[in-house]
Amino acid sequence: MQDPATLKDVTIIGGGPTGLFAAFYAGMRGASARIVDSLPQLGGQLMALYPEKYVFDVAGFPKVLAKDLVRDMTAQALQFGAETRLGETVTGLRRENEHFVLETTGGDYPTRTIVIAAGIGAFEPRKLPLDGVEQWEGRGLYHSVLDPRAFEGQRVLLVGGGDSAFDWAVNLQGIARSVTLIHRRDQFRAHEATVAQVKALSAAGRCGIHTFTEVSAIHGTERIERVTLRHAKTKEEQELAVDAVVPLLGFHSDLGAIKEWGLDTEKADIKVDQLMQTNVPGIWAAGDITSYPGKLKLIAVGASEACIAVNNAVHWINPKAKVNPGHSSNLAIFGQSED
Ligand code: FAD
Q: Give the number of other CB atoms < 10 A from CB of residue 42.
A: 24
Indicate which atom in ligand 1 lies nearest the CA of residue 256. Answer: 18
**Residue 169 Cα to ligand 1 middle (Å):** 23
What pLDDT, on a 0 to 100 scale, did the predictor assign at position 1?
Answer: 64
Q: What are phi and psi of 90, to 5 degrees?
A: -70, 130
Angle at 103 between CA 24 and CA 323, to 5 degrees: 35
**Residue 61 Cα to ligand 1 middle (Å):** 19
Q: Which amino acid is at 139?
A: R
**Residue 63 Cα to ligand 1 middle (Å):** 18
Condensed to tens digits (0 to 9), the pLDDT of residues 300-322 reads 999 999 999 999 999 999 999 99
What pLDDT, on a 0 to 100 scale, did the predictor assign at position 121?
Answer: 86
Q: Which residues of the chain have pLDDT under 50?
A: none
What pLDDT, on a 0 to 100 scale, did the predictor assign at position 5?
Answer: 78
Task: Evaluate whether 213 touches 230 at the Cβ level (below 8 Å).
Answer: yes
Indicate which atom in ligand 1 lies nearest the CA of residue 299. Answer: 25
Condensed to tens digits (0 to 9), the pLDDT of residues 237-247 reads 999 999 999 99
What pLDDT, on a 0 to 100 scale, did the predictor assign at position 313?
Answer: 98
Q: What are phi and psi of 312, to 5 degrees?
A: -75, -35
17 touches ligand 1 (CB under 6 Å): yes
